[in-house]
Structure 1
Amino acid sequence: MSEVASPGDTRRFVVALREKTAGDVDDGVTARATYSMDASNYRHVPLAVVFPKDPEDLDAVLRLSREHGVPVTARGAGTSIGGQALGRGVVVDFSRYLNRVLEIDPDAKTARVQPGVVLDTLQSAAAEHSLVFGPDPSTHSRCTIGGMIGNDACGSHSVAWGRTADNVISLDVLTADGARLHAGPTTAEQRFRQAAEPGRAGEIHRRIQELVASNLALLRQGYPDLPRRVSGYALDQLLPENEGNLARALVGTEGTCAVVAEATLRLVRAPAARTLVVAGYIDDIAAADAVSRVLPLRPLTVEGMGADLVAALLARGRRPAAVDLLPRGGGWLFVEVGGDTAADALERGEQMAEALRHSTDANTVVASDPADQRGLWSIREAAAGIATRMADGSEAWPGWEDAAVPPHRLGPYLRDFRELLRSHGLRGIPYGHFGEGCVHVRIDFGLTEPAGRRGFRSFMEEVADLVVAYGGSLSGEHGDGQARAELLPRMYSPELIALFEQFKAIWDPGDVLNPGNLVRPRPLDADLRFDGPTRQLPITLKYPHDGGDFATATRRCVGVGKCIDTSSGVMCPSYMVTGREEHSTRGRARLLSEMMRGETVTDGWRSEEVRDALDLCLACKGCLSDCPVHVDMASYKAEFLHHHYAGRLRPASHYTLGFLPLLARLAALAPGPANALLAAPGVGGLVKKLGGIAPERQVPRFARRTLRAALRRATRRTSGRSPDDSRPAVVLWPDTFTNHFAPEIGVAAVRVLEYAGFDVRLPRAPVCCGLTWVSTGQLGVARRILRRTLRTLGPELRAGTPIVGLEPSCLATLRHDSRELLDDDELAGLPQRVHTLAGFLAEHAPDVRFPTVEAAAVTQQHCHQHAVFGHADDERLLDRLGVDNQTLDSGCCGLAGNFGMERGHYDVSVAAANRVLVPAIEAASPETLVLADGFSCRTQIEDLTGRRALHLAEVIARSLP
């Protein structure tokens, strides 16, 4: 039906789904567009997306899909790299409702879970009993147990604890034709009783047992012997010597045979403490050669990577401190050991390091500090995103993503693999689970061009033969899907391939479940997301890192889903509140990509679906730093709004909040009357209504005197110190928020800078970065404002005078967004000149010692500072001041400039703040300082907690004479 159904047939099917299920059913353009891709190279637009609430919903979806001839694809986090989470029929998303840990049995060391449970949720529940689920892929913060079962996921600790298949005890499953089965290991007597059961369940058991009994020799001899053999169906698990383990045979079937309703899992005792040993070698091949000497030492994990991965990481932006912890070398093994105590783990780590130095001539680092370990592991875990762009910025893609060979043959395989890449003129960055011979790599296939797609097929066929020649598996972790299933006949005999087809037919004779994967697969070079039209829509921003092309910019998102991690980090605040795919960075990128394609989203820049999804984007820029490939959704939103409202009436808030700098300058002529008018009964409410401002918000009061006026009247040099001739003059940026609403912060900053010996100056005329026009998509105005500012700053820029700003969002606009608006020659070095206060002092006055401020503090880090500048300099300065500081992992405050002030956004804005920020401040003692450099952050904190937050400048100034 999905290929040829009429609109009427589709409508009747969707209506039936809504009538027969209690969960959510969505067949709108937004859902179909956001679920059209996963983390693979493929694209399939579904008819509808269903979020079942219980197994009865699942049963109804399967029954109706069978009756209407609609394929069913089960989906967890949507991070499948082979295309297994895509379908042209109904996509069943388990993440919204069927996502509970039902039971932890600490005595039996088991967990009973629903398929939508996120792995980290399970790990948190198990950790209360000092237990852990062994498989731990790098997507642990968002991947679901159902998805892990579908792909037989592994992770870095499979050396010690095995794959998902090794840790599944039993499964409760539903078949496409209505049967419910309990699958697990069995005795011969139990298998006899199962075969005698009446109905469809008994038929399935009988036919499977007949298949096994007729093919014992083939099942015993037809599979390669290696720890990471994930490709194909694991029919050897059905052998009598494997207890006829139907559950393990279903793991890795990628949703093609049955749908998991519940799983019982094996847990293991987690080491009380761990130590990480990093061993450096001349390159990643030498590191791979060393693996066979590491494994006998019984590590928990052996991960490998090369210098090209580190180079790609450094090309992304700021240098992570953990890079400096790596030992000398061009390739590294990450070897983890455990112990009953920290001292025991450290001793074992030192013994491991000594053994590696002696046996493999490695340079080693022993990391026992948990913070150092997290930093080092973060390099490896970010690889799935980092490797999607080469160090020079060119695009790289999955396809040949996770092949595995016997670990002792990994070094020679890597040599031949790199040679094969060179012979095809391709590049890739190998890394992965070296302890089990599994190598991840993304390759710069030219998939956007016909010649590149032909080369893609040619390479895939040759590299499949290479892996098979080494006794390996096409997939060692992520499954086959559409990406590799076509190549399975190169790995398995025709007889075994025929058994795969028989096994699938036993379970799903109507081919309803995830067709086109594993059995009778679609071609590996069909349905590529790059096929089809791409609109040439006009753009305004420059996209310097994407060749000036908006379509290339939206392709940055490859679907690894870090933006749907709700446990920590800045992105994506609206998704953390709503849990809806279209409110994630990934979902919005999918919508924009579909808009550029013009098939599902047909209205281009006028699309209401895209507008509505972007409406709840806070433009926090968290994705710019937290997304592994630096999707910049704030810029994409500005671009969209610019075109969407071109020649049309804009929302009222675009005229009030967008033109705030000009309105503030008018109010500065008579701030008292302006404040009185806004506070007058009835008037303030009317102003907010007409201005598109949320009625729940208090309008900030204008300062009685602007910063410029305050500095003209104040007595300068209150510290009694004279400018230090060795110090440069510095321009203090008088942003709109500091100048008109919080001039006391600017005065404090002047005191701090003068104490450090700097001659502080203000620009000779009013300046503005254009932030409010950028955030409301009025890019033409923003460009004119910025050009006027550059003319005002001309003498300072030509002299190389540094600029210190106090409002992080304005600084981020000057440092980052200015490059999107203007060419480098127009900017005259402006982006490089701007600094945060702490960053400026760290670079230009590292020797200055301020008096200590003995206090505890909690800090709300501004999301734009997090994204563009980082917070490390602030942390170090607070430490030098003697402030016992805790920087909250709270993400955006939720106000986010104009976002939280706009009508219709209040609930999401407050919910974002209530996740971490508000509870942390309410729990802090009255004596604890609350720090927030951003005007929005301070406003949100005061509105919701009644606490006044301080700027860093005010904290330092408190210590001065």
Structure 2
Amino acid sequence: MTDFLAQLADAVSGDVDSGPAAQAMYSMDASNYRQVPEAVVFPRSVADLEATVRVCSANGVPITARGAGTSIAGQALGKGVVVDYSRYLNRVLEIDAERGTARVQPGVVLDTLRAAAAPHGLTFGPDPSTHSRCTLGGMIGNDACGPHSVAWGRTADNVVSLDVLTADGTRFNTATPPEELTGRADEIHEGLRALASDNLALLRTGFPTLPRRVSGYALDALLPEHGFDLTRALVGTEGTCVLLTEATVRLVPSPPSRVLVVAGYADDVAAADAVPSVLPLRPLTVEGMGADLIDALLVRGRRTAALDNLPEGRGWLFIEVGDETAELAQRRARELADTLAQRTGATTSVATDPAQARQLWSIREAAAGIATRMADGSEAWPGWEDAAVPPENLGSYLRGFRELLARHGLRGIPYGHFGEGCVHVRIDFELTTERGRRAFRSFMTDAADLVVAHGGSLSGEHGDGQARAELLPRMYSPELLRLFEAFKEIWDPRDLLNPGNLVRPRPLDADLRFEGPVLPLPTTLRYPHDDGSLTTATRRCVGVGKCIDTSTGVMCPSYMVTRSEQHSTRGRARLLFELMRGETITDGWRSTEVRDALDLCLACKGCLSDCPVNVDMASYKAEFLHQHYAGRLRPISHYSLGFLPLWARLAHAAPGTANAVLRSTGTAALVKRLGGIAAERSLPAFSRVSLRRALRRLPRRPAGRRRVMLWPDTFTNFFSPEVGVAAARVLDYAGFDVVLPRSSVCCGLTWISTGQLDVARRVLRRTLRVLEPELRAGTPIVGLEPSCLAVLRHDVHDLLDVDSLDALTLGAFLKREAPGVQFPRLPATAAITQQHCHQHAVFGNAAEEQLLREVGVGNRTLDSGCCGLAGNFGMERGHYEVSVGAANRVLVPEVSAAEPDTLVLADGFSCRTQIGELTGRKALHLAQVLATAIDQGFR
């Protein structure tokens, strides 16, 4: 194998990675399965693909094609070479608006294609919920659909031609006229002609008739009445027949105006029964879900405002209509809503506001992740993931399916594309035990029989893969299955392309990623939401890949800069999973592969909220650093920046002297070099007066007011006390008696972020002792630094067996405790806000936005992700490039483009520092804006 890998590296100009990290990260997709590849190839060109095929063929090594790695049935896994198209072969080559087509490379992301087509009023019709990261190659391989297939069909209906490469190196286009084919291409064509002509009756009668039949090979496309459509026959073959080099796809006109109608019913079964009444009304999409999905969403944390817009019911249909103008679309929507109310008894809501519609759609799009945990927190898995039946049979199928779940003692949360009879579900299979795996097999066979009895398909969207291919004999006759094998053999006689899928499949209960060893490695965090287990916590990542969406959100800032899988939340979670398993990552907590992947984790906590399954990589990183450096010398920055609260307190004994020393060019350079701090960074200046001292100078109010404790975090106390003073004035104006803790306190954040968890735990315990009288008295806490506040609200659970503290942001406190207080309005003022990552992840900024509106500030919270400084991360040597890259993605351009009189708001000290260093603009805390309003109100 070493010789093979050397040949491969020599032949390919792209990247070839056979290291343990690549093997670990590519050993899983979004399915239940695990297969460790020999190597991962990232081809830069078609020539690289040809070289890969040539070397693999010569050595008898199988090849598996992979796009975004979000396949749910195991099609993106292989024990030979995995070819990842997404890194380089990811361009839209041409948009032909006149013909309504696009030429694309297989690694192009669907949203990239849609953005390129949008200026022409066109779109690609199929749109799975992973549209922000799934690739066209993967969609073609699995015949992906999405909610709009009601109007525009499956991927198979929208592909014009394919440029393909066979396992023996033959290249041709599927639309090439037969008379122009030569050699092996002509041989393939003739073999397929013979297969079809010799089996006309079987091909005409052997397939169920329904819009979402994705299971098996689409051999009926080879019938004469279907034009011997070679292209369509290849769509959905899951990489088992050819490799794609290019595709020409059909684009459809995109209605300029769309309106969402949500119809409420007694439950999801009643919603399914209503589908036949919806379809004649020509909707663009008909999606369905039940209240159990909402229950699972609510246990994730913050309640989304979109839930308030759902009509009454326990089951819902999401129905989108479109037209040329907003007026026409809204008229159609209201007519549809009235019709459903009359015919099906639905309660309806019409979302004419696009923002409201997007919020509602976000519930449905997050379902693939939400459904992986039941409402009680127990795990649920794919497997019986996307069966489909004729829409008129959907209600009956759902009733039978819920009865089947109950009979097997299982639970699941069905939802999906009700307009085409396709139901997604994750089920709480007990896949970690032998008994549970036997129950898994028993359920899968019974479920297959149920869907076939309803005239359906084992797969309606995601393909068969390893999850369902073994069950194809329950859907198709032995004669048709033999034709599937013959079809595969014509293309790939040596079975080198994605073997074990579709034909001669591996057992559905083999290669499960839950089987195998779990090393008895020590852990120190409590993992209260994962049964106290880091292994269980790493299983949260099911591979849906939202962390590789670079278009929006906070997660994952380093991946947005590097585009490397090891810097995604998914990649890091898989490395940690493999570390706990001990096979590909063999040196446990001492692993350099895991250390290197986590080195560029900003600990921003974006994944805690943005990841559909709430992976908390910041906590896992803290655990790893704690264990990795146990009993060993740490990086110097862990001592300089990790102990910042201590150094700041010491420096503040003589802040002027400390600043003079740090401002000296030579001394500053020496301090940075010795402290492991990036040379490009400026050292922050200590304030002349601490917050504690500054608040002593404020006038005292009469007793009798409600008490509130202002949290004197290190950054506010020693570096920006003006923020704390402003907050004290605001709270005083609102009628509160502002107090500070009776002695110094610290949340331990800097020790947590550097993995010094024993110190952090001691610091937090001492802090709780100091706070104990006020906590017992019910005094609420107002925090000004979001990262410190997040520790008191979230991380404290991981370190100590205590409840969250009643700690709030200034805005949240004012809206909860003083909702009637009115602050003077500022003159018409525009503002942009950089929301701190930890605030985004743990408590949000809805209250802050409301307060800004109330004082007359026209604010826009940026979709800019992490500022990139992220506490100690951006200060550490070796991180500057990624830190600045994260800021330059959105934040810096937005701030630089803002008008001079536009306020720039950032509650985080790191955010304000990064903005100041990279743009020269001074950013303000909300407290300072409200204090300014108070000042102007008294003039």
Task: State TM-score, norm by structure 2.
Answer: 0.99
1:75 aligns with 2:48: no
Q: Determine helix, strand or coil for the equivalent of 1:857.
A: strand
Which one is further off, 80-89 or 845-854?
845-854
2:817 to 844, 857, 866: 844
Residue 798 of structure 1 corresponds to 776
Q: Aligned partners of 1:435 and 1:104: how far apart in 2? A: 30
1:534 to 506, 518, 532: 518
Q: Aligned partners of 2:20 and 2:211: how far apart in 1? A: 43
1:811 aligns with 2:785: no
The 5-angstrom pairing of residues 263-302 of structure 1 reads 263-302=247-286
Q: Determine helix, strand or coil for the equivalent of 1:264.
A: strand
Cα offsets for 1:857-879 (capped at 9, x unmatched): 11000000000011111111111
| One-letter code aligned to 1:842 | K
| One-letter code aligned to 1:455 | A
Cα offsets for 1:274-322 (capped at 9, x unmatched): 1100000000000000001110111000000000000000011110000
Residue 363 of structure 2 corresponds to 379
Q: Aligned partners of 1:317 and 1:69: how far apart in 2? A: 50
The 5-angstrom pairing of residues 901-912 of structure 1 reads 901-912=875-886
Q: Please tell me whether the aligned partners of residues 166 and 492 of structure 2 are also in contact (alpha carbons under 8 angstroms).
A: yes
Q: CA deviation at 1:198?
A: 2.9
Q: CA deviation at 1:716?
A: 4.7
Q: CA deviation at 1:715?
A: 3.8
Q: Aligned partners of 2:534 and 2:892: how far apart in 1? A: 37
Q: Determine helix, strand or coil for the equivalent of 1:544.
A: coil
Residue 84 of structure 1 corresponds to 75
1:43 aligns with 2:21: no
Q: Aligned partners of 1:449 and 1:198: how far apart in 2? A: 54
Cα offsets for 1:127-168 (capped at 9, x unmatched): 011101000000000000000000000000000000000000
Gaps of 5+ in 1: 1-9
1:624 aligns with 2:608: yes
Q: Aligned partners of 1:18 and 1:855: how far apart in 2? A: 59
Residue 753 of structure 1 corresponds to 731
Q: Aligned partners of 1:950 and 1:345: how far apart in 2? A: 43
| One-letter code aligned to 1:16 | Q
1:786 aligns with 2:770: no
Gaps of 5+ in 2: none
Q: CA deviation at 1:229?
A: 0.1
Q: Please tell me whether the aligned partners of residues 526 and 532 of structure 2 are also in contact (alpha carbons under 8 angstroms).
A: yes
1:937 to 905, 911, 928: 911
Cα offsets for 1:509-560 (capped at 9, x unmatched): 1111000000100000000001110112111110000010110000000000
Residue 4 of structure 1 corresponds to none
Q: Determine helix, strand or coil for the equivalent of 2:343.
A: helix
Q: Determine helix, strand or coil for the equivalent of 1:317.
A: coil
Q: Aligned partners of 2:586 and 2:630: how far apart in 1? A: 18
Q: Determine helix, strand or coil for the equivalent of 1:364.
A: strand
1:924 aligns with 2:902: no
2:384 to 400, 406, 425: 400
- Runs of 4+ in structure 1 displaced over 2 angstroms? 713-717
Q: Aligned partners of 1:74 and 1:138: how far apart in 2? A: 21
Q: Aligned partners of 2:499 and 2:810: how far apart in 1? A: 58
Q: Determine helix, strand or coil for the equivalent of 2:736.
A: coil
| One-letter code aligned to 2:89 | L
Cα offsets for 1:801-843 (capped at 9, x unmatched): 000000000000110000100012xxxx5x2410000000010
1:53 aligns with 2:37: no
| One-letter code aligned to 2:807 | V
Q: Aligned partners of 1:68 and 1:817: how far apart in 2? A: 51
Residue 238 of structure 1 corresponds to 222
Q: Determine helix, strand or coil for the equivalent of 1:797.
A: helix
Q: CA deviation at 1:642?
A: 0.4
Q: CA deviation at 1:714?
A: 3.6
Q: Aligned partners of 2:626 and 2:296: how far apart in 1? A: 33
Residue 168 of structure 1 corresponds to 159
Q: Aligned partners of 1:415 and 1:927: how far apart in 2? A: 61
Residue 328 of structure 1 corresponds to 312
| One-letter code aligned to 2:724 | G
The 5-angstrom pairing of residues 34-433 of structure 1 reads 34-184=25-175, 190-191=177-178, 193=179, 197-433=181-417
Residue 770 of structure 1 corresponds to 748
| One-letter code aligned to 1:757 | G
The 5-angstrom pairing of residues 445-844 of structure 1 reads 445-716=429-700, 728-824=706-802, 829=803, 831-844=804-817
Cα offsets for 1:221-265 (capped at 9, x unmatched): 110000000000001111111111111100000000001111101
Q: Determine helix, strand or coil for the equivalent of 2:672.
A: helix
Q: CA deviation at 1:784?
A: 0.3
Q: Determine helix, strand or coil for the equivalent of 1:128.
A: helix
Cα offsets for 1:617-639 (capped at 9, x unmatched): 00000000000010000000000
Cα offsets for 1:661-701 (capped at 9, x unmatched): 00000000000110111111311111101100000000000
Q: Aligned partners of 1:247 and 1:295: how far apart in 2? A: 29
Q: Aligned partners of 1:407 and 1:865: how far apart in 2? A: 44
Q: CA deviation at 1:12?
A: 1.4
1:441 aligns with 2:425: yes
Q: Aligned partners of 2:625 and 2:11: how far apart in 1? A: 39
Cα offsets for 1:383-442 (capped at 9, x unmatched): 000000000000000000000000000000000000000000000000000000000000
Q: Determine helix, strand or coil for the equivalent of 2:819.
A: coil
| One-letter code aligned to 1:929 | L
Q: Aligned partners of 1:346 and 1:63: how far apart in 2? A: 56
Cα offsets for 1:732-783 (capped at 9, x unmatched): 0000000000000000000100000000001110000000000000000000
Q: Please tell me whether the aligned partners of residues 792 and 805 of structure 2 are also in contact (alpha carbons under 8 angstroms).
A: no
Q: Determine helix, strand or coil for the equivalent of 2:289.
A: strand
Residue 862 of structure 2 corresponds to 888
Q: Aligned partners of 1:278 and 1:204: how far apart in 2? A: 49
Alpha-carbon RMSD: 0.9
Q: Aligned partners of 1:712 and 1:294: how far apart in 2? A: 68
Residue 5 of structure 1 corresponds to none
Q: Aligned partners of 1:801 and 1:713: how far apart in 2? A: 23
Q: Determine helix, strand or coil for the equivalent of 1:50.
A: strand
Q: Aligned partners of 1:464 and 1:885: how far apart in 2? A: 53
Matched-pair identity in %: 73
Q: Aligned partners of 2:894 and 2:238: how far apart in 1? A: 42
Q: Aligned partners of 2:876 and 2:687: how far apart in 1? A: 22
| One-letter code aligned to 1:441 | V
Q: Aligned partners of 1:883 and 1:107: how far apart in 2? A: 46
Q: CA deviation at 1:473?
A: 0.2
| One-letter code aligned to 1:395 | E
